[in-house]
A and B are shown apart, each in its own frame.
Chain A
Amino acid sequence: MIDTETIVTPQVAAEHGLSPDEYARIQQILHRAPSFTELGVFSVMWSEHCSYKSSRIHLKRLPTRGARVVQGPGENAGVVDIGDGFVAVFKIESHNHPSFVEPFQGAATGVGGILRDIFTMGARPIAVLDPLRFGPITSGPGAGNASAEEIARNRHILDGVIRGIAFYGNCFGVPTVGGDVLFEPSYSNNPLINVLALGIARREELFFARASGAGNPVIYVGAKTGRDGIHGASLLASAEFSEESQQKRPNVQVGDPFMEKLLLEACLEAMRTGAVVGIQDMGAAGLTSSSSEMASRGGVGIEIELARVPQRETGMTPYEIMLSESQERMLLVAERGREREVFDVFHKWGLDAIEIGRVTDDGKLRILNHERVVAEIPAHALAEEGPKYERPIAPPRPPQSQARLVEFAPKGADLTRNFLRLLASPAVASKYWITEQYDSMVRTNTRVGPGAGDAAVMRLKETKRALAISTDGNGRWCSLAPRIGAMHAVAEASRNVACTGALPVAATNCLNFGNPEKPEVMWQFTEALDGMAEACRALEVPITGGNVSFYNETLGRRIDPTPVLGVLGLLEDAECALGSGFRNAEDLIVVLEAGKAAESIAEAQREFSSSEYAKTVHGIVAGAPPQIDLAAEKRLIECLVKLAAERAILSAHDVSDGGLAVTLAESCFTSDGLSADVNLDPLATKEPPEAAVFGERGARVVVSLSPSSLARMNAIAAQYGIKAWQIGAVTRGEFCIQLNGTPVVRGEISLFRQTWAASLERALESA
């Protein structure tokens, strides 16, 4: 049975990224040396990307259970009960390295991959969000010392990524409704392209990726197999980048959203026939992972004849067929005797559907090529018994000298110029140039679309409920203090969801980090994970799935540790959904606050030095993220849900990048030409003006309401122990923020809006 194409030696194993120990373990499992095909199969399944070998032992610390959780981590996506017999199916993935090598196709196939994860489970995708992190696209203090060449390249990457996301999602017919976009120097040669998809299904119609029933046919459906994407998971996603990495372009797959749309419709229709037993998409590691994971989960074996696999190219070896990551393919197990029903559906949609093998009862993944066995491996060993590492962990050495902190401007200073710089910074500026390239409305369920609220809100036509979803993750804060930064990511995404009136019910996470073989990276990872676990417990948002992306390092420079959280919320009544824009002139503006300000000037200085303002205006990234009080965050979330359900407020927008000033301005920008006139004295702040106006501490939300609702709003806030500071009113006049009797930010709202709205387009269309 030895495949003689290449003789396997320890050196060949090493070239496949397998350590000597791992190679020894493979020989132990097989009781012999592996064939070349078997070595390839092991190398992808045991890659970091597929096996989670560095993260597995730590991921156990995350809370994964909850009253609404139907399916936690371990399946293609998480599943949450949303009532009325429906479930929400959602998950986040990364496609970082492919998108750096080939931005358009990398981003496009990232969207394709996560969509398959959703409809594999029998759910129809209803929304996509794309959290993106790029290097600087404009010069200035916030760009670090990025060169002009680097900035031009970052623009090129961003442009390709946005086009790729739009290309795939728009054609497939799923609305792309959000995702945060941020910029930091550490992402210059390693952008983060994360993508979250959300679908819905009837609870009893869920499908799982499990094979069962010896003798049942194993059916291949969708696109033909080519030589693209071979070793995408192992070489692209599980190694650092060097100068030669651009030559890995052939490892990037090519996406065909039309094919994926056909696959979606055909799969959902085939599932409805009742003849499908289990189904899994061929994502990372293609045929190898889909077959071995389905067999392993079902406790059975699978036998496949490669000669029957539809192939796009001639002369493909068993190794290539097993490792190809050609897109838009699925593997399913049907009930023996009913395969005709499945074939008919796929043929109706013009797709290949071929029986390529059968389920066996010997627990082995057996691969035949023209009836000759080329690989025979225990499926469970391949899928579940991969190496697990307890990698060394060490905190980074404390810096030699004290980092420079922000020196606060004196009281009475006019901060309007700095406010304008903040509005123009890519992180704060309007993302409309990006989001209008996405079809955000198809399927007519988008109740709160991109930019209109703190989270996207999708109505469910079948019920009166709606789902809200938001992503968040501040890498700059995590680089300063990963534990607190990760807590903030959970808290902010949850707060965003609550600002629309939805109760956060579950989360998915994408953990983007550097090389796990470096002890400091593992320290960042475990710190962030512990912070995330604590926050998810406190806010009652269990993690139902997600993804770990390690090796985000290029030329030895690693990214800021960036855990990205996607939080799902449930609105009992879609009619109560709130946007972030002010609604009427003369409405009252109130700050809801659950936490408290820094105790001393020194503490305020430390917190403020990590803000977007400190970075953009002073070029300072130092200090620590604001302290976080999870119990306070929880009370604020519950208060917001209640306020929305009681219709006591008309808009809600959380205080984040750029502080109160930017929050207030954004609520004006997303309104119909309204402005705001506020006085921050009621907050009785002892903070320096800059910290009061631009500080970013959490557990704060700006709401607006009709004057007649004030008493009701105050009563509800008091019930949850939330301070409600009435700071001013919505107007049609000048935008003005006063403190201690003097305006600190003041000007025409249309002028501010112009700066905020045009900044991204100016940077990118001039490129």
Chain B
Amino acid sequence: MKFGVVIFPGSNCDHDAFHAIGSVLGQPVEFIWHQSEQLSGFDAIILPGGFAYGDYLRTGAIARFSPVMRAVDRFARSGGLVIGICNGFQILLEAGLLPGAMMRNKGLRFLCRQVHIRVESTNTPFTCAARPGQVLKIPIAHMEGNYFCDPATLVELERNQQIIFRYVKPDGRSADPDDREANPNGSLAAIAGICNRERNVLGLMPHPERAVELPIGSADGMVIFRSMVESLAREAALPA
């Protein structure tokens, strides 16, 4: 199976995702230039963190119109696995592949720190190797990670179990609405990551590719990438 990491000109976590998949996970991985519309041969696409086209307007607002996003849209609609991390999540929201929007962090400051997120559903190709309720220590690094959606969408997300990760206290207990320690950006319902209804597109603000080796702080992010490999392997084993 082959992973593809999209490079927008302002991506800056592209090499980190590449390292996590290629060197740590030991899976085939290639870069995909933002002007490419060619995604055949890839089994999973990673939209990495960074500032796609500078993001001076609104995060992801320009990226959604890039050639590669037309291809990613087709790839996702045909069932391919797509994971958007940080800026990648913001782009998926702008592209309409996931519902909702990002606002600036509650404190109006960029925040880079380790946070704890809880796996809310293991029924996705991104979390199938995790335990239900497992707490992952993974860093965030963003200015706009304050997730928001209208009440109807939130009900929908809850009902379909599309909320995959929530910011929680280190021991896994839910955060109070105003707990800036646990939910530092002030996200609605402490949402850290969601998937689409079809469950093949995931967006999350924390950076699992920065949590793949203990010497750099945590290896908890690996469970997400391992889940993807497992689910792709299962799919490949099914008779066509």
Interface residues of A (CB under 8 A from B): 163, 166-167, 170-173, 256-259, 261-262, 265, 349-350, 436-447, 449, 459, 461, 574-575
Q: How far is the CA of A350 from the CA of B16 in the complex (A)?
A: 23
A441 & B215 in contact (Cβ 8 Å cutoff): no
Q: Which residues of A contact B212 (CB under 8 A)?
A: 444
A261 & B217 in contact (Cβ 8 Å cutoff): no
B215 & A459 in contact (Cβ 8 Å cutoff): yes
Q: Which residues of A contact B213 (CB under 8 A)?
A: 444
B141 & A442 in contact (Cβ 8 Å cutoff): yes
B20, B50, B51, B217: the one within 8 Å of A441 (CB): B217
Query: Residue on A with the closest CB to B52?
Result: A258
Q: Which residues of A contact B216 (CB under 8 A)?
A: 441, 444-447, 459
> Which residues, 172 to 224 on B, are CB-close (under 8 Å) to A?
207, 209-210, 212-213, 215-217
Query: Residue on A with the closest CB to B56?
Result: A258
Q: Which residues of A contact B20 (CB under 8 A)?
A: 444
Q: Which stretch of B74-82, B108-116, B127-135 is in the interface?
A: B108-116
Q: Which residues of B contact A256 (CB under 8 A)?
A: 54
A-B contact pairs, 11 of them (CB 8 A): A166-B110, A171-B55, A257-B51, A258-B9, A262-B9, A438-B110, A440-B112, A441-B112, A441-B141, A441-B210, A442-B210
Interface string of B2-43 (1 = CB under 8 A from A): 000000011011011001100100000000000000000000
A438 & B112 in contact (Cβ 8 Å cutoff): yes
Q: Which residues of A contact B56 (CB under 8 A)?
A: 258
A575 to chain B, nearest CB (A): 7
A437 & B109 in contact (Cβ 8 Å cutoff): yes
Q: Which residues of A contact B207 (CB under 8 A)?
A: 441
Counting CB contacts under 8 A, is B84 at the interface? no
A171 & B141 in contact (Cβ 8 Å cutoff): no
B46 to chain A, nearest CB (A): 14
A444 & B209 in contact (Cβ 8 Å cutoff): yes
Query: Residue on B with the closest CB to A449?
Result: B217
Q: Which residues of B contact A166 (CB under 8 A)?
A: 110
Knowing A441-B210, A444-B210, A444-B216 are in contact, say whether A172-B109 is a contact too (CB < 8 A). Answer: no
Q: Which residues of A contact B49 (CB under 8 A)?
A: 442
A170 & B9 in contact (Cβ 8 Å cutoff): no
Knowing A173-B50, A441-B210 are in contact, say whether A261-B9 is a contact too (CB < 8 A). Answer: yes
A437 & B110 in contact (Cβ 8 Å cutoff): yes
Knowing A258-B56, A444-B19, A445-B216 are in contact, say whether A439-B141 is a contact too (CB < 8 A). Answer: yes
Q: Which residues of A contact B110 (CB under 8 A)?
A: 166-167, 170, 437-439
Query: Residue on A with the closest CB to B139?
Result: A441
Knowing A437-B110, A459-B216 are in contact, say whether A261-B209 is a contact too (CB < 8 A). Answer: no
Q: How far is the CA of A321 from the CA of B54 in the complex (A)?
A: 26
Q: Which residues of A contact B9 (CB under 8 A)?
A: 258, 261-262, 265, 349-350
Q: How far is the CA of A574 from the CA of B111 in the complex (A)?
A: 27
B10 & A258 in contact (Cβ 8 Å cutoff): yes
B13 & A442 in contact (Cβ 8 Å cutoff): yes
B54, B113, B141, B143: the one within 8 Å of A258 (CB): B54
B10, B13, B215: the one within 8 Å of A447 (CB): B215
Q: How far is the CA of A170 from the CA of B144 in the complex (A)?
A: 13
Query: Residue on B with the closest CB to A171?
Result: B51
* Seed contacts A256-B54, A258-B9; 15 additional CB < 8 Å A-B pairs: A170-B143, A171-B51, A171-B55, A172-B12, A258-B55, A261-B10, A437-B110, A438-B110, A440-B112, A441-B207, A443-B16, A444-B20, A444-B209, A444-B216, A446-B217
A261 & B12 in contact (Cβ 8 Å cutoff): yes
Query: Residue on A with the closest CB to B9?
Result: A262
Q: Which residues of B contact A438 (CB under 8 A)?
A: 110, 112
> Which residues, 149 to 184 on B, are CB-close (under 8 Å) to A?
none
B171 to chain A, nearest CB (A): 13
B142 to chain A, nearest CB (A): 9
B210 to chain A, nearest CB (A): 5
Q: How far is the CA of A447 from the CA of B53 in the complex (A)?
A: 29
A351 to chain B, nearest CB (A): 10
Q: Which residues of A contact B109 (CB under 8 A)?
A: 163, 437
A442 & B54 in contact (Cβ 8 Å cutoff): no
Q: Which residues of B contact A447 (CB under 8 A)?
A: 215-216
B53 to chain A, nearest CB (A): 7
> Which residues, 98 to 118 on B, are CB-close (under 8 Å) to A?
109-113
A162 to chain B, nearest CB (A): 9
Query: Residue on B with the closest CB to A167?
Result: B110
Q: How far is the CA of A439 from the CA of B210 in the complex (A)?
A: 12
B74 to chain A, nearest CB (A): 24
B112 & A444 in contact (Cβ 8 Å cutoff): no
Query: Residue on B with the closest CB to A450?
Result: B112
Q: How far is the CA of A262 from the CA of B213 in the complex (A)?
A: 29
Q: How far is the CA of A438 from the CA of B142 in the complex (A)?
A: 10
Q: Which residues of A contact B113 (CB under 8 A)?
A: 436
Q: How far is the CA of A441 from the CA of B212 in the complex (A)?
A: 12
> What 8 pairs between A and B have smallest CB-CB spacing?
A173-B12, A258-B54, A439-B141, A171-B51, A444-B16, A439-B112, A166-B110, A437-B110
- Residue from A163, A436, A459, A575 having most chain B Cβ neighbours under 10 A: A436
Q: Which residues of B contact A439 (CB under 8 A)?
A: 110, 112, 141
- Residue from B49, B53, B210 having most chain A Cβ neighbours under 10 A: B210
A284 to chain B, nearest CB (A): 25
A170, A258, A436: the one within 8 Å of B53 (CB): A258
Query: Residue on A with the closest CB to B207?
Result: A441
Query: Residue on A with the closest CB to B11?
Result: A173
Q: How far is the CA of A508 from the CA of B49 in the complex (A)?
A: 32
Q: How far is the CA of A447 from the CA of B217 in the complex (A)?
A: 8
B224 to chain A, nearest CB (A): 15
Q: Which residues of B contact A449 (CB under 8 A)?
A: 217
Q: How far is the CA of A445 from the CA of B20 in the complex (A)?
A: 12
Q: Which residues of A contact B53 (CB under 8 A)?
A: 258
Knowing A436-B111, A439-B112, A441-B217 are in contact, say whether A171-B19 is a contact too (CB < 8 A). Answer: no
Q: How far is the CA of A438 from the CA of B110 in the complex (A)?
A: 7
B4 to chain A, nearest CB (A): 19
Q: Which residues of A contact B23 (CB under 8 A)?
A: 461
Q: How far is the CA of A446 from the CA of B113 in the complex (A)?
A: 13
Q: Which residues of B contact A167 (CB under 8 A)?
A: 110
Query: Residue on A with the closest CB to B143?
Result: A170
Q: How far is the CA of A167 from the CA of B15 in the complex (A)?
A: 21
Q: Which residues of A contact B139 (CB under 8 A)?
A: 441
B63 to chain A, nearest CB (A): 12
B5 to chain A, nearest CB (A): 14
B6 to chain A, nearest CB (A): 15
Q: How far is the CA of A459 from the CA of B213 in the complex (A)?
A: 12
Query: Residue on A with the closest CB to B216?
Result: A444
A293 to chain B, nearest CB (A): 29
Q: Which residues of B contact A574 (CB under 8 A)?
A: 215
Q: How far is the CA of A257 from the CA of B207 in the complex (A)?
A: 21
A197 to chain B, nearest CB (A): 15
Q: Which residues of B contact A349 (CB under 8 A)?
A: 9
Interface string of B41-67 (1 = CB under 8 A from A): 000000001110111100000000000
Q: Which residues of A contact B54 (CB under 8 A)?
A: 171, 256, 258-259
- Residue from A256, A259, A437 having most chain B Cβ neighbours under 10 A: A437
- Residue from A167, A261, A446, A459 having most chain B Cβ neighbours under 10 A: A261
- Residue from A259, A350, A437, A439 having most chain B Cβ neighbours under 10 A: A439
Q: How far is the CA of A714 from the CA of B109 in the complex (A)?
A: 47
A578 to chain B, nearest CB (A): 12
Query: Residue on A with the closest CB to B10?
Result: A258
A436 & B112 in contact (Cβ 8 Å cutoff): yes
A14 to chain B, nearest CB (A): 42
Q: How far is the CA of A265 from the CA of B10 in the complex (A)?
A: 10
Q: How far is the CA of A437 from the CA of B141 in the complex (A)?
A: 9
B29 to chain A, nearest CB (A): 15
Q: Which residues of A contact B15 (CB under 8 A)?
A: 443
Query: Residue on B with the closest CB to A256?
Result: B54
Q: Which residues of B contact A459 (CB under 8 A)?
A: 215-216
Query: Residue on A with the closest CB to B209?
Result: A444
B141 & A170 in contact (Cβ 8 Å cutoff): yes
Query: Residue on B with the closest CB to A261?
Result: B10
